[in-house]
Amino acid sequence: MLSTLLIVLPVFALILAGWLVRKVGVMGPQSASELNRFVVYLALPALLFDITAHAKFAEIWQPGFIATFTLSCVILFGLTLALCWRRERPLADAAIDALASSYANTGYMGFPLALAVFGSSAMAPTLIASLVTVCALFAVAIVLIEISLQSERQPSRLILKVATSLARNPLLLAPALGALFPLRSTPIPAPMDSFLKMLGHAASPCALVGLGLFLAEKRAPQASQNELGPAVLIIGLKLLLQPLITWVLAVHVFALPPALAQPAILIAALPTGTGPFMLAEYYQRDAGVTAKVIIGSTVLSMLTITAYLTFGRT
């Protein structure tokens, strides 16, 4: 548990830093939105471009692992979307909730935890999980949000409007352009590589500071109470159901070797990352539920991950 705590502490420190600078008035009331705009339009696209541009087919082609992790995410995404949409949540908000239930914090917690527990052999599976999470899941959520927000209901015009919006979205353009490099076996020029890494490394810290800024804003008590139930549901799905689904798929369906099955379950047990919060802010949706899910799942994951590492490994 100590190793998990040491990895989680910087996450809370960054959230606390954002909360403090807003509370003492160093940052203004628009600071959370402006910082998130920087993340969405610059830092996160650079990170997504960098990840896909450096992905090597030989390393990431693990069909059993890809199927296991992708299916666990799809099942949980679909289940959460159905549950939240059934509770009369708008499709855009239900899609963000669904993303929050299946979006593992691979960047801040996945890589250091996998390295500490399983060694360097777990880096390739963690990279695959990152690609599924930050590229594929993000893309599905964005498509659903765009469909929800378009006022046009005639199918042909709706498809055209959604396609136009998607083509301008930096969170989809960046990984698509980055994927051209490994497809053409073209190396990234050194200055461009340095630029991408410097900018991309700012994505997660700035998103966490932005989360702290958001939490420091005064909100109606009734709104906060209404968010508690959905947040608890999503946290339970993320920390308990997703690892269980992943275990069933990894061990009993695809019969993965322990070197792949155990990292898959560990990554599935990770708390929610900042991606859903960034998406909620980007589309100007209420991010209250997402913020509670990120913080609550991060706190509770110290217990669930420790329990898995102590009793669940075979």
What does the pLDDT look like over 14-70, one tens digit per residue? 888 999 999 888 888 888 888 888 888 898 888 878 878 877 777 778 899 999 999
Average pLDDT of 295-308? Answer: 86
Mean of per-residue pLDDT scores for the chain: 84
Q: For position 237, what pLDDT does the model report?
A: 95
DSSP H helical ranges for the chain: 2-23, 31-38, 44-54, 57-60, 63-86, 91-102, 111-118, 123-131, 138-149, 155-167, 170-178, 180-184, 190-200, 203-216, 221-236, 242-247, 258-268, 275-282, 288-307
Res 98: pLDDT: 95
Encoding tokens for residue 159?
Answer: 């498809």
pLDDT of residue 222: 56
Cβ atoms of 66 and 128 within 8 Å: the answer is yes
Between 36 and 83, the more confident residue is 83
| Token couple for 11 | 């996450």
CA distance 305 to 314: 15
Say whether pLDDT at 109 is over 90. Answer: no
For residue 64, give the nearest of 259, 309, 266, 268 by alpha carbon.
Answer: 259
In the predicted model, what is the mean pLDDT of residues 128-146?
86
Q: For position 155, what pLDDT does the model report?
A: 65
pLDDT digits (tens, 9 = 90+) for 172-198: 788 888 878 877 777 788 888 899 999
276 vs 221, residue with greater confidence: 276
Helix (H, G, I), strand (E, B) or coil at 104: strand
pLDDT over 90 for what percent of the chain? Answer: 27
Q: Is the pLDDT reported for residue 282 higher than 80? A: yes
